Structure 1
Amino acid sequence: MSVVIVGGGLAGISAALALQEVGVPVTLVEARPRLGGATHSFHRRGLAVDNGQHVFLRCCTAYRGLLERLGTHHHVHVQDRFDVTVLRPGGVAGRLRRSRLPGPLHMLPALARYSALPVADRLRTVRAALALRRLDPGAPELDEISAGRWLAAHGQRERARRELWEPLLMAALNAGLDEAAMGAAGMVCRTALLGRRDAADIGVPALPLGDLHGAAALRRIEEGGGNVLLRARAEAVTADPKVVVNGTPLGADAVILAVPHEAAARLAGEETCPDRDRWPALGAAPIVNVHVIYDRPVLDLPFAAAVGSPVQWVFDRTAPSGLAEGQYLAVSLSAADRWIELSTAELRAVFVPELARLLPAARHARVLDLFVTRERRATFRQAPGSTAGRPGAATRTPGIFLAGAWTATGWPDTMEGAVRSGLTAARLVRRHLREVRQR
């Protein structure tokens, strides 16, 4: 019994490792020269650069389990407790730090003390948080309205939406409040902010993503007897099932399509996935990262959020990149439609002055290098109505399964969602193989 997995991102890697652990031989097919999918690294002028800043939360149990399987879980730093400094041009706007009260009470003091908002707005945020706690994120009606509309209807005025809810939810959903489905936003709030006390503690990689994920996965899969085909393009999937790779058919007892929804729609036949024509409607949302190398330290925090500025989040990437002197900051811009087509020079003209407005030390520092990375299709658009377009892992054809953060994982399009999808597909494959053996 063997399985072919198409796609070497986190979903495909997770499925491959889960199957190998129960003795199922796997062949992993990846078109790129590396594993890791949207989480990868490259080298520039002696520095290791991630294509974009990725973080996770303590509640991302499947993703953390993947790191343990890969043996890289010691190379991440997780906060002792959720703690985010929020910058505003000219100073610190506020700080969100959870208390040691049991969940969901742990975040209420942070909201009540959030100095970026007037006292009246802080009290309204506490009431909104209590209303969020009572939500069922899976309720169909919540998928039909935006997070911004729901928050406004629950007393959240523009300033609170802009200076509290948007920095948190835009980073999680890669969508502005008025473009994000309330179901997905509610899931994030209930699970992370209003769930277990430690659920929202933020984890940051201490290694380049290429080492944390891709290189480690290649090593683990091959050590486990798996076969990894890089620079191998899957051209078709037949109902046998077979996968045609670079013109050559690969037979299998089961196939997992762990690729973005556009590629899955192309590879899956109409009989296998009769709803595949709906998948392109999920669309794609971009993320842009502006990387700035200074000649001296300008930020004394591992990361910070920002309000009143085009900067959304800024991260210190000095140590993971290998920079010996100065400081390397990465500005992460979610829902980046307004930035994606701008040139590096245009982005520099915006963000170097903005960083100087946020970070007083940057006003006296020299920019040694600045470059931009762009993920045009970083996630699908998690807009109202999108949940209905996300398929499950099973298809109409026995032995062919879907995986990817865009499938119906119950999570937003995140690393956690990708890993969960791979584990679900692997579980269904194991059940399918048992049924085949019993025939």
Structure 2
Amino acid sequence: MNLGAVDVLAVRLWFDRQIDIPLPSNACFGFSSTTGWTFFDLNALHDEFRDEPGTVVEADFYHANQLIPLKDEEIVSLVQRDLATCIPAFREAKVIDSSAIRLSRAVTHFAPGSYQYLLPAVTSYDNVFMSGDWVVTRHGSWSQEKAYVTGLEAANLVISRFGIGNKAVIIPVEADEPHIQIGRKINQFTRSLTKTFIPDFWLP
């Protein structure tokens, strides 16, 4: 109950033509001060859309409380506009079908201090293991990737428990970019100084 959640808007658009999307998964920011989003090339990711004559895109918006009340046609227009900002070819394409799913408080709100409240994959039942956003993993992934990775980890626990099958190989997360590593070291150093000079009971 100490873990928060945010609203999600999942929008799927079918376009009338093929559009070259360089990457199958694209995280976006800077379009809104409160909402982040990711769009996916479903032609590349889903077998069912691989042979579609047009382009099928999924756009998922996180912390989408201000978008959920909008009408479907307003949402479709907004998503196409933002897609065209990333890939100009979307501007001339026509949306021939669409779907907008509103999910209130559906995704974990990862925030500083939330890690301590995450749940272990191993439960008090010998043959029950857990996976998902709210499960601890040392892998370093999060969001959709975390759900997938913890699913593999849970499957590996099942294999270990029953001694049958081959464990999944989980690919490590790539190393942080240099500026992220530097920022993390500065943060750790600052925190260590703070603990040295300020009593613990003054810290939040």
The unaligned stretches of length 5 or more in structure 1 are 1-279, 432-439
In structure 2, do the counterparts of structure 1 residues 376 and 329 end up closer, same or farther at CA, with 3 Å as the change threshold? same
Offset, 1:416: 0.2
Letter in 2 for 1:360: P
| 1:315 partnered with 2:36 | no
How many angstroms apart in 1 are the aligned matches of 2:152 and 2:69?
30
2:122–2:130 CA contact under 8 A, matched in 1: no
Paired position in structure 1 for 2:77:
349
Paired position in structure 2 for 1:418:
151
How many angstroms apart in 2 are the aligned matches of 1:324 and 1:425?
37
In structure 2, do the counterparts of structure 1 residues 385 and 425 end up closer, same or farther at CA, with 3 Å as the change threshold? farther
In structure 2, do the counterparts of structure 1 residues 283 and 400 end up closer, same or farther at CA, with 3 Å as the change threshold? farther
* 1:299 maps to which of 17, 20, 23: 20
Paired position in structure 2 for 1:336:
64
**Per-residue CA distance 1:73-126 (angstroms, 9 max, x = gap):** xxxxxxxxxxxxxxxxxxxxxxxxxxxxxxxxxxxxxxxxxxxxxxxxxxxxxx
Paired position in structure 2 for 1:197:
none
How many angstroms apart in 1 are the aligned matches of 2:148 and 2:91?
35
Offset, 1:415: 1.1
1:294–1:366 CA contact under 8 A, matched in 2: yes
* 1:391 maps to which of 119, 127, 134: 119
Letter in 2 for 1:416: V
Report the TM-score, using the length of structure 2 for normalisation: 0.56
2:21–2:87 CA contact under 8 A, matched in 1: no
| 1:363 partnered with 2:91 | yes
Letter in 2 for 1:297: Q
Alignment of 1:362-381 (within 5 A): 362-376=90-104, 378-381=106-109
Alignment of 1:127-206 (within 5 A): none
Letter in 2 for 1:314: F
Offset, 1:378: 4.5
1:292–1:371 CA contact under 8 A, matched in 2: yes
* Residue-pair matches, total: 150
In structure 2, do the counterparts of structure 1 residues 418 and 296 end up closer, same or farther at CA, with 3 Å as the change threshold? same
Letter in 1 for 2:152: V
2:129–2:157 CA contact under 8 A, matched in 1: no
2:99 partner SS? strand
Offset, 1:388: 1.7
Paired position in structure 1 for 2:185:
none
Pick 1 or 2: higher relative contact order, CA cutoff 8 A, min separation 6: 1
How many angstroms apart in 2 are the aligned matches of 1:378 and 1:422?
24
1:299–1:316 CA contact under 8 A, matched in 2: no
How many angstroms apart in 2 are the aligned matches of 1:284 and 1:337?
11
* 2:9 maps to which of 258, 274, 288: 288
In structure 2, do the counterparts of structure 1 residues 420 and 394 end up closer, same or farther at CA, with 3 Å as the change threshold? closer
Offset, 1:414: 2.5
Offset, 1:379: 3.7
RMSD of the TM alignment (CA)?
3.3
Report the TM-score, using the length of structure 1 for normalisation: 0.29
